[in-house]
Every structure is written in structure tokens, then in C-alpha cells.
Structure 1
Amino acid sequence: MNETLEILLAAGVPLAVVVAVSTLLVRRRRGTPPEPPATGEQAPGGATATVERPTTEAPAGADPVSTADPVELGGDVEIAELVEPVPLEVPAPVPGRLARLRGRLARSGSPLGARLLAVLSRDHLTEDDWDELEETLLLADVGAGPSAELIEALRTRVRVEGVKDPGQVRALLREQLVALVDPSLDRTLATSRTTDAAGQEVPSVVLVVGVNGTGKTTTVGKLARVLVAEGRSVVLGAADTFRAAAADQLETWGSRVGVPTVRSDRDGADPAAVAFDAVRTGKQAEVDVVLVDTAGRLQNKAGLMDELGKITRVITREAPLSEVLLVLDATTGQNGLNQAKVFGEVAGVTGIVLTKLDGTAKGGIVVAVQRQLGVPVKLVGLGEGPDDLAPFDPEQFVDGILEG
């Protein structure tokens, strides 16, 4: 065996591969059977539900390896293809996520809260000061109507109560901002098993929509982690079949936390067929939630309506839709509101996911998009980490802005 390894090293084979060869030879001498190859369970309609291969412990002191189809190395030695097993990750607990992300929002240097407090703390507020406050709110994408409401409420309170103490000013501003964000809206996610029209128990089905570039597929992967952290069982549906890397990206997210992905084996497949297969697979596996990622094209309203309408009709043959979440990029401002309006009209949006909210003065988009669609912001992303997605809490969000 040593001679074989010396030959491999002399031939320029990387050391890691040589170690793997040594491990395999030791295993064969000891009679250790090879690991089974990865398997794919065929889902209805031709999509494939990816099933992760179980890993085994390698001998002490050796690199972990697993075996698949044999390949030739150097023309004279056959070994199994080397695949590094990926250990399942444990997502961060959901409680406390927004508190952690709030600190990140405060550290991002968003000037909204600082500017508002600076103006309100002046001894005598002139008309120019009030105009400056309104301009600050408009630049933060709060919107003309909500900005005017906030300014009017602040002027009344300052005039009536004669607020001047910095602590009182901050408390007053916080109160008005929280009211504007509206804590009365129902921000819960429908992610528990439900019943269909026939009274049969089925998974909750969550359809995720949005244009490309908003972080939609990444958000689906992060949402899967949120659900796993809450003890939910999940199946992912890669119904974005027009972007070649979307299914691979989603499958990678799922594999990290042991969540299977239903996908087509070819690009450009019918998205509705993949969505249908995902829901049926979820029903058969009796999971809690099926998350369906969709294509992010917004070429024209008619095309979008046709595609999303077909996906919705096909899905509801198997189970009712529990949520339609629209993913928006917080940095797009008013353009994001236009996107939200189109999707709201087409897809029956039930909640908003705001991504890229860190490092921006556009926090007011929370207020504007809720007013535009009449639906709540339910989740926010404040970073690029895998667990930087959290349920939205109005009070903690406002505190993050004011601490900036």
C-alpha cells in the first residue's frame, strides 16, 4: 500500500486525494462495505425530490469520504469519486433574531432617526424645521401621505404638551413612528398544516413571488431555516425554471438543513408542473409546509398574470394556498412600490418580505408598502448571513432606527 501511495505522490496527485485513497484501501482491507450511492425519489410529474445521502464516520485520523460511481485516477487506479459530506446545520433560534438584527440596523448608520431627533430637540421649531422633518421622512421613502400624518401629529403634541426634554422628544417620536408602522396588523405566518375543501389534512403552501435581484431564492432558503428552527418539516419547490442556477441554489439551501427540494431535471420546464409536484410530494410526506419559489420575471402584467395564475390554479388542485409572500428590495424605493402594486393585483399577496434593509436610509419603505398594498410586512432581512431573516416587529424596528 505504501508503494502505491508513493507512486501517487510522485505523479503529482494532491495530498488530500492520496489520504482519501489510503482511507479507502484501509477500509477494503478491513472489509468495510462501501456507502450506498445517493438516491433520487421520483416525484409525480417527472420532478425529482432530492434525498441527501447519509454519511458514515471515517476511521480515526482520516479525512471523511463517501463513495459514488467509480472513476479512473491516473489511468491505472480506480477509486470512488470523493465527496465531502456536508453536516446538517442547526439554524439559530427564531426568538431574539430581530433583537440581534436590530443592533445591526442601529450600527448601519441609518440617518433617519438621528436626523428626526436632531431637529425635534431644537429649542424653537420654525416652519423651516418642520419642512426639514418632512423632507427627511420623504427621503426615507415613508411616502407623502404618511409623512404629512406624522408631522401633523408631532406638531400637535409639541404645541400642546410643550415637549423639550430630549428624553421626552425621543419617546414622543418613538410613539408616533410605531403608530405609523401599525402594530395592529396581523404579521403571523400561516405555516401549520391545514385542511382542504374535502376536509383532508394537507401542508401549508407558501408561494414566494418577486422580481429578480431582490434576493427571492435566497429568502426562500432562509425562510426554510426559520421554519426548521421552529420545528416545522419542509419541502422546497424550485418552480423558477427560467434561471438556470435557481434550482441549484435552492437545493443547496435546503441540503444544509436537511430539507428536500423538488425540481425539474431540465431548464425551462413548466413552473406550474414543478409547483404541483412539490405540493403533492409534501402531501405524501405529510410535511408541515411546502415553500414554492417562482420565476422573477416582470416583463409585462399580462404575462405575469398568466404564469402566476396557472401556478395558483394547479397548486390549489392539491392544497389551498396559505400565504403569498412578495419579496421586495428595500433599497429600490418607489420603484419597489410599483413592483409591489403589480404583484398585489396579480398574485393576491398576503405579506411582504423586505430584504437588504441594513445600511439604508429607506426604512420608511415599511410604511409605504403597507399603505400601498394593505398587507403587512411579515419578515425582514438585515444582512447576508443564513439566519439574518426574522419576523418583523414594529417596536423593535423603530428602536433600531432611533438607535442609529
Structure 2
Amino acid sequence: MTGQTIPFFTQAATFDAEWDGIRRHLNDVIDNGKFSHGAKVAELERALELWTGARHVAAVNSGTDALVLLLRAAGLRPGDEVIVPAYSFIATATSVVLAGGVPVFADIEESGGYGLDPAAADARVTPRTRMVMPVHLFDRPADLRGLAEVARRHGLTLVEDSAEAIGMRVDGAHAGLRGAGGALSFFPAKTLGAIGDAGAVLTDDDAVAETVRMLRHHGRGGRTLGDFAGIANATVVPGRNSKMDDVQAAVLLGKLGRLDADIARRAELSARYDARLRDVPGVRRTPGDAPPRPGTGRVVYVHLVEVDDRDALAAHLAARGIGTEVYYPRPLHLQPCFAYLGHRAGDFPRAEAACAAALALPLYPDLPDEHADRVCDEIERFYAGRRRVR
């Protein structure tokens, strides 16, 4: 290994810069003495409503639970089908199962944006289909215009897996607000990350918001529950314990003030990678190659490149102290937990091709320009060596 280690993700410098604000919020939690689902969580919800423009934000304990509770609140019934992309993190599909539904996979678009393809989704609709759930991946939203039209034509509910999408907007509205609602993840590596698991549902639908608030707290009704108002601690529906803890809310509040600057810094670094790597033989596609989608702008969570000899390149970088991640090692339809659905290799070729070629490079606000340049130097060196050998 040569040179300084470059991790795939770190937020050490971010915490140094933001510690005073984080500490103030943490001290509020300690002074208040309520560490779960308390005043700091409510403060975070209000701040996120202002930042995203959502009518409601309901904080929960993870992005996965945000998806599960959103699906239930949006009306998913046992056995209902939900169309999801075959290329995404596993929680996209397992959340459907955990909410009582059946995931129905469809391929991703050809344009390079990695979103659910509207035509492919349309072809997968059956009489049992209840919802369509696009995922906003990496640096741009899915084709919500096209997918909303599919949902409208078939009478489906549109829900959004917007776990990676804080800051992304479509036609002026924050990602997650086109249909019944969206889910955010605050996993530490996310654009707005906590120091553990945390998530939220954002929605403009009053009924969805109220149901999520019940479901996250064992199904209890209470202060704002319409017909159940005034029935303190009444369990109205079977729920779960999915409350956000106030320590995570405190950290997120301390970091929220720098979110716009962090998004801008990620965009700078991604553009730097694009400029250096676009013409490197062996690098087949970079984020900047995908055509812009009308009504949207790029907000870069992950800088994903598609490359030749992906696994060998990842090993070359690792040997030189450079961290990378594979997004995603296996498409969802070929995961063992979904073997009962009967899919085979070749069913969704674009998703399978992405899984075989995609590699995520280090990208976070703490990353110095010279570290990004060294990543590019090593990628160029790897492919130059391949050419000499051949």
C-alpha cells in the first residue's frame, strides 16, 4: 500500500466543524431527560418540514422502517403487489414483504439514471397490483413524470423510496412528495447522516402522516387522531416500536445547517471525477454521462462509475488504501430470499449489467481535492497497465 489511506466514507472532519452545534443539541437532550421520541425529535421534524417543503415529516428509527410504515399507511393490504426496480438496495423489496405485500420486479431505464423504467413497470401491472415504488438512486430522481402516468392509468398508488434523495427535487417539489409519500434514510453515510440508524417519512397527505405516527408508536392514538382524539394511549391499529431517539435527532439538527454546503461540495467532487475519468479507456460510464431529466437537478449521494474488470479495479484500489463500494453486488430478483418468485438470470438484463459493472468511488464533504485526484490517478494507472499487458 502506498500513500495515505482514502476511506470510502468518513465524517471525522465534518464532526469537528459541526461539533459546537451538535453538542448544544445533545445538551438539550440530556437536560430534558427524554431520550426517545421527545422534544428534539419534534424539533427535527419541524426543521425538515421547512427544509423539504413537506407538509408532514414523521421521524422513525431507520430508513427501512420508514418504507414499511409508509407502505402500510398508504393502504397496502396483505397480498397486494408493489412494482419495484430489480436494481436497488435490498430494503426496497424486503420492506414490501414486511408490510404484507408482494414485490414485483421490473427493469431499470436505459438512459443511465438507474431508475425504474416506466415502460417496464407498465408491463408488470396485474389485477393484483396496488402500488408502484420507484427508487431515487445515487445522483438523480427516477422518472416520476412517466411513473406517475403509469400509476394514474392503472389506478395505482405511487410511493417513493427516496432514502438517498434528500435535496433532490422534481418539478419544484422535493423527492418523496409526488404521490402518497416518500422515505428518507439518515444512515451515517447518507448526504444527511446520523451517528446510527434513523429515518423519516415525508408526505403531504394528512391521513398518511397520522397513520405513520400511530404505527411508529405501537399503533397508539392520541392528541391529533381525528375521531380518536382524547383517547390517550388507545391502540388503534397494530403498530411497532419505530420511534427515533433524540440523540440521533440532535446530531441531525446539528448537521442540517450545513446540508446545502455539503450538497454543493459533493457536486464539486463528482464533477471533478467526471472531468478526469470520462475519457479513460475502461471507464464506460460516469454520472455526468446520463442525460439530465426534465424538471430535475443532480444531487450527488454516490459517485457511481461503470467500468471494465470492476472487481479487479476494486482490488487494485484497495491494495493502495482506497475504499470503494459495489452498488449492488446482486440484483434483487436473484437474491436468495426472493427465490420463491421464480426469477432467473437474464430476466432483467439492464439491472444485471449494472450489478456487474458499477463501482462507487469515495465521495463525502471531507474528501480533499488531492485525494479525489489520487483516486483518478490510480484508476488511470490500472487501465494503462491492462493495455500494456494485452
Which interval holds the TM-score relative to the shorter structure?
0.3 to 0.5
Q: Which structure is larger by alpha-carbon Rg, 1 or 2?
A: 1
User: Could you state the TM-score of these two structures normalised by the residue count of structure 1?
Assistant: 0.32
- Report the TM-score when normalising by structure 2: 0.33
